[in-house]
Structure 1
Amino acid sequence: MEGSNCSLRVNRQLLDPKFESYKLSLDPLPCYNVELDAAVAEVCLRDDQYTLDHMRAFGMYNYLHCNPWIPNSVFYVDQLERVMSFTVTLDTAMGKPIEVFRFPRDLNTCDSRLCSSMYFASAQWVTLSDGTGTLYIIRIGNQSGSVSGKWEIMFNQELGEPFIVVHSVSSVRDELHIIDVLLLSIEKDESDIKGSGFHVCLEWVSIARAQNEDNGKYEILKRRKLFGKSVPHYAAIEPLGNGVMMISYKPFRFIANDKDQPESSEDEKMDEDNKREPLYNWHQTGEDVTLTFQLPEGMTKEDLTIKFLPGEIDISLKDQGTFLKGQLYLDIDCESSAWIIKEGRSVEVTLTKREPGSTWAELVIGDKHGEYIVDPTQTAAIAEQLMHLTSEDMNPNPETEKPPCNAQELEECDLFLEDSTSLCRFDGARLKATHVVNLGSNPYLFTFVATPELMPCFALRHDVDALLWQPVSEQADNLWDHIATFNALAYLDGTKQD
């Protein structure tokens, strides 16, 4: 998976290091019952849906759907193929369910049917799947308080394999009203001989109509598919439909169609680029970073321009433009930094670290044209410092000599880490990952809609706390904001796992 490696920035002001415990309340939880005219349309898994991905996607599905634009409203599909709506409040009993929509055809005749699903793209638009492979775009009429307005079909089309709706957004772009919807299905994979024989498909469908045509027809504008080998924990489309963010245990990649450029060709180009000689080499000590590259034939010192800024570097060559430019991994001392031309037309640039002793993971953030040269003496020094933490021999006397790690001293929540889980942002135009965050030590916990106009938040474990993150696609330098902390919630969640 390509994309620049990023990290999540924790807001330390939202952490409480002095938090001790919760106060246990003995007050009973309110419980309300309401009689239904027809039971919820629960769809059981078939014998051929035997994988863990089938269970996660369809077997553990929540049949109740909340409308974040009307917080007290809840929707479900019953066995009479009706979409029912009712209100739920904490201080009163539930209201009687009312019908807001009925599927126009009999769904029980489809042998490969999945559970019906829906997502509210806005206060006026909802995307709906009947579980047989047909997608509906519904316009909601004027709503009165917590009562949903009339549902009117504006688009319905069979798209292929049965799917569930994961997320959808409504936006206006280039004088078009566009509804982007994310659909999840699990398909047979004949090429997967050693695995389960299935792969997970996330299809990103854009449906549009001219903004000034009130009676115009909605049509499919674009279809893009992401394939992976695990059901994502989280997947959502950015508010303006420019990209998709996803948390998954295994990586996803775009699969090209007739209109889009294959990503495989992009990968081949990147492989060819990786086989080329690096444009420059760099190494570091505790005090500085040294960059070395060859000056092209026919060029002199006057043809080379190097500019130092506290957090940036700009190297350009006459008649060839920029050689290297971008944000440095850490700030430098501009006055102490310098460059010289040595014998053999070798240019050596010395960058003095503003923070002596720091280690740079890369020279210019996101640049892949250089090669890092490891100093053997520095490697040996680090290995010597870590020698006391390792041993080639097992502890012969664990009773008398305390072992370096005792499994009984670990919390139960420490035993369920998914080391390869990652948070990715995929660009809809370039069809590839642009940002990747490794979540190995911060497992996914749950999803929550804090603001309907924004993408859903997700909670990650941070030590024993649960940190709530709000995706903000408009912030190119920080796509995820830490907005809240649930103290010790991750510990409580982890210790309940069997």
Structure 2
Amino acid sequence: MSENVPKYTDAIKPIRTLLNPKFEGYKLKVFDERSQLKHFQLPPPAITIPKIPTKSKLSYKEIQSRIHFNHLFKGFEIDKGKGICFYFDSENFVVLAEYDPATSNVVTHRLVKIQQPSDYSGNVEGRHLNFNYPSLRALSPNLLLVTNGFGTIFLVQIKNDNASSYSGEILYQMEFKGKQESDINNNIPCVLLDGRIVRESEDDLHVLFLVYNTVLNQETRGTLFDISLLRLSMSPQYGMEIIHVLRGPDIPFYCNIEFNGAGYVIGGNLEYEVVYKSSNHNDTVEPMYFEYDQKSEKQEMSTTVQDDKKVISPYIWTQTSSDVTICFQLPQGTPKTAVHCNFSQTHLSLTINLGDNPNISPELPPIPCYAFTHLFDLIDPSSSLWTIEPAVGLLTLHLEKHNHNTRWSHVFQHDDGVFETLDPNEFAEFRERLEKFTYDNSEQFGQLASKPLQHPIGYEIEESIDYEEKSSTFLWVDREGNLIAKASGGNEYLCRQFEYLEKTEISNNISLFPSVCLKSDVDGIVYSIGHPIDSSKLDISPLVITHIATFNAFAFVQASKRERRFSFHDPKNRFVIILEGDHRAFIYKRHEVNENYDEQSVVELAFNSNDDSEIIGVQMASIENAHVIVLKSNSMIIIKLL
């Protein structure tokens, strides 16, 4: 049997008795912001999240991952009853945030600065590398595993200086270079997925942890992702080794290591294959080349259009008293399915998915890439639309101004230096210039060449929803890198439960992982994920997935949230939360018995009318009290749900 074919295969199925066919909907319950909501201003220097450059070479899946990256990390309790979370401030310090449910007070402590490379070239053998956001995993109440986003991994110890103060110390740092045939001096940017301290014997204490990094498929030039299981010795000499590597086309939405280190569960929309095992030196990994396109780099370096010595702008735009028109030049033949455009009243999200073989000309401007980018002023999304002419490669956005007769100085809140095209004739010249680089392809594109495709932006479906409309697959991978069990079905991933680090639950000789919520018709089905402790002895599947609760109509209500940032459900299945946009949270509560109606609450998170800071993270600060802590770039917000 192939090592990539699991021994056990099972289907994920809901239990009919846990469904509520009589459910009619949610009733709105007013949320008491005075007693149930508290704002805490972050001390300086607060948080600055690097923006995704418009010329970024990131793949669409990487961009989506960054948009939904949770910058707030759960920690173990240090002082009994107090919730612990971590974040990185603007000076790259790890900051410990301690929340006391009794007083609703938050105290922050700067632990240690995580160094960033000052001479990072961003290239490996001529191939561009994109850094990742720093990530963190709490291993114990006083030990953290941290990445700086550039390929350096740190082991950090938390010190209790006195009864009310904490500091940090870096015990060890290691460079992650992936597993490849050729030696590369540069570190490889990686993101932590999970980590756990494991004791195999009295003298063998070590950390098992999982990271992912980007690789390039040499045949298709598409983006793939390596998931590496690593071992870090906790002896004074430390020392890190890669145990095995999986590879797949998606960043996993679920990854958890079993408490005794026997293996781990990985969940994704597509499956992963083993490409390296340390125990078998005959197994090799394809060279780890990062996404790079020679034409794209020439395009970025180009600063002229033909011989007229004019700087290439990423777009041209003009405006009237009531609307704004923006034109982008795309590769000739770009279909409508490649365009993923979504508007809110305040933001633009636009990415172009050209697939593995984009027809990019050096004369073209950079491919547009705007990840939830703040616009200059408000617009009316329902009255806005976009059009594309594939034969010419012309993408046009028509934005309806919310405030008519307001003149925009530039398109985005942060000026990118693109001046307005005041002469309408320049738009005709722009189109002529596009046609200059195309040819008669009416037979190739059929009717698409003669008629622009139009979609109201308010109804355009993002690829993020397309991404979720796939069967969720969960794999059990043992420590040696063998795919032992697989569970899948026609269930789309909706969310997972909040982190719960304090203890590992064991029920009926099964160790339980965090649960997940999957779609079933319009409902959200909560499944427990477990590993039978004696599965190898009993010859049974090491992966048990069971329907334990139902959030009525949750799949339906989540699909209606066009600016969804984060979705999580309570470990005790009392509620599910959706954070949308910059300042709004939707809470859906669940009753234990089947009732016709459940409760819905809408929470406004903006501190005042001028608060436009982004929601960048969320964790559960207190499981027992159902207190959720939301991280914004300049504040923390406590939502008390019980």
**TM-score tier (shorter):** 0.5 to 0.7
Q: Is the 8 A contact 1:178 1:208 kept in 2?
A: yes
Which residue is 2:230 aligned to? 205
Which structure 2 residues correspond to residues 59-208 of structure 1 after superposition, within 5 A?
A: 59-69=67-77, 72-88=83-99, 94-103=105-114, 105-107=115-117, 109-110=119-120, 111=122, 112-141=130-159, 149-160=166-177, 161-175=188-202, 176-193=204-221, 196=222, 198-208=223-233
Which residue is 1:438 aligned to? 488
1:425 deviates by 1.3
Which structure 2 residues correspond to residues 5-16 of structure 1 after superposition, within 5 A?
A: 5-8=9-12, 10=14, 14-16=18-20
Q: Which moved more, 1:40-49 or 1:236-245?
A: 40-49
Q: How many equivalent pairs are there?
A: 340
Which residue is 1:2 aligned to? 5
After superposition, the CA RMSD in angstroms is: 3.3
Bigger relative CO (Cα 8 Å, ≥ 6 apart)? 2
- Counterpart CA distance in 2 for 1:264 and 1:255 is 7
Cα deviation per residue 1:349-368 (whole Å; 9 max; x = unaligned)? xxxxxxxxxxxxxxxxxxxx
* 2:489 maps to 1:427: no
Q: Is the 8 A contact 1:86 1:94 kept in 2?
A: no
* 2:36 maps to 1:23: no
Unaligned runs of 5+ in 1: 211-215, 266-412
SS of alignment partner, residue 64 of structure 2? helix
SS of alignment partner, residue 224 of structure 2? strand
- The residue type paired with residue 173 of structure 1 is E
Cα deviation per residue 1:64-96 (whole Å; 9 max; x = unaligned)? 212254662221111212111223467855534
Q: Is the 8 A contact 1:76 1:83 kept in 2?
A: yes
Cα deviation per residue 1:39-79 (whole Å; 9 max; x = unaligned)? 31413334343311211333431212122546622211112
**Residues 32 and 89 (structure 1), Cα distance of their counterparts in 2 relative to 1, 3 Å cut:** farther
Q: Is the 8 A contact 2:274 2:482 kept in 1?
A: yes
- Counterpart CA distance in 1 for 2:165 and 2:75 is 10
**Residues 495 and 205 (structure 1), Cα distance of their counterparts in 2 relative to 1, 3 Å cut:** same
- Counterpart CA distance in 2 for 1:8 and 1:143 is 49
* 2:487 maps to 1:487: no
1:201 deviates by 1.3
Which structure 2 residues correspond to residues 314-333 of structure 1 after superposition, within 5 A?
A: none
Which residue is 2:46 aligned to? 39
- The residue type paired with residue 172 of structure 1 is R
- Counterpart CA distance in 2 for 1:7 and 1:482 is 12
Which structure 2 residues correspond to residues 310-389 of structure 1 after superposition, within 5 A?
A: none
Which residue is 1:472 aligned to? 530
SS of alignment partner, residue 456 of structure 1? strand
SS of alignment partner, residue 65 of structure 2? helix
**Residues 201 and 87 (structure 1), Cα distance of their counterparts in 2 relative to 1, 3 Å cut:** same
**Residues 11 and 256 (structure 1), Cα distance of their counterparts in 2 relative to 1, 3 Å cut:** same
1:451 deviates by 5.4
Which structure 2 residues correspond to residues 265-304 of structure 1 after superposition, within 5 A?
A: none
1:462 deviates by 2.9
- Counterpart CA distance in 2 for 1:445 and 1:50 is 24
- The residue type paired with residue 224 of structure 2 is H
Which residue is 1:246 aligned to? 266
- The residue type paired with residue 260 of structure 1 is N
Q: Which moved more, 1:463-472 or 1:247-256?
A: 463-472
1:243 deviates by 1.5
SS of alignment partner, residue 54 of structure 1? helix
Cα deviation per residue 1:120-153 (whole Å; 9 max; x = unaligned)? 12333221001110111223345989x6744332
Q: Is the 8 A contact 2:12 2:488 kept in 1?
A: no
**Residues 441 and 484 (structure 1), Cα distance of their counterparts in 2 relative to 1, 3 Å cut:** closer
1:442 deviates by 4.1
**Residues 473 and 190 (structure 1), Cα distance of their counterparts in 2 relative to 1, 3 Å cut:** same
Cα deviation per residue 1:457-492 (whole Å; 9 max; x = unaligned)? 222123333233333223534523444332332222
Unaligned runs of 5+ in 2: 123-129, 178-187, 286-463, 505-512, 536-540, 564-642
- The residue type paired with residue 474 of structure 1 is P
- The residue type paired with residue 516 of structure 2 is F
- The residue type paired with residue 477 of structure 2 is F
Calculate percent identity across the aligned residue pairs.
18
**Residues 96 and 474 (structure 1), Cα distance of their counterparts in 2 relative to 1, 3 Å cut:** same
Q: Is the 8 A contact 1:165 1:182 kept in 2?
A: yes
- The residue type paired with residue 217 of structure 1 is Q
- The residue type paired with residue 225 of structure 1 is V
- Counterpart CA distance in 1 for 2:14 and 2:544 is 13
SS of alignment partner, residue 6 of structure 1? strand
Cα deviation per residue 1:408-431 (whole Å; 9 max; x = unaligned)? xxxxx99886334311111222x2
Q: Is the 8 A contact 1:127 1:137 kept in 2?
A: yes
Cα deviation per residue 1:352-388 (whole Å; 9 max; x = unaligned)? xxxxxxxxxxxxxxxxxxxxxxxxxxxxxxxxxxxxx
Q: Is the 8 A contact 1:135 1:158 kept in 2?
A: yes
- The residue type paired with residue 200 of structure 2 is R
- The residue type paired with residue 5 of structure 2 is E
Q: Is the 8 A contact 1:417 1:441 kept in 2?
A: no
- Counterpart CA distance in 2 for 1:256 and 1:416 is 27
1:12 deviates by 5.7
1:188 deviates by 2.8
Cα deviation per residue 1:158-197 (whole Å; 9 max; x = unaligned)? 112011111111121133112111111112332324xx3x
- The residue type paired with residue 211 of structure 2 is L
Q: Is the 8 A contact 1:234 1:447 kept in 2?
A: no
1:34 deviates by 0.2
- The residue type paired with residue 22 of structure 1 is Y
- The residue type paired with residue 148 of structure 2 is D
Cα deviation per residue 1:230-280 (whole Å; 9 max; x = unaligned)? 111111222122212111122211212564355699xxxxxxxxxxxxxxx
Which residue is 1:227 aligned to? 247
- Counterpart CA distance in 2 for 1:79 and 1:234 is 28
Q: Is the 8 A contact 2:112 2:170 kept in 1?
A: no
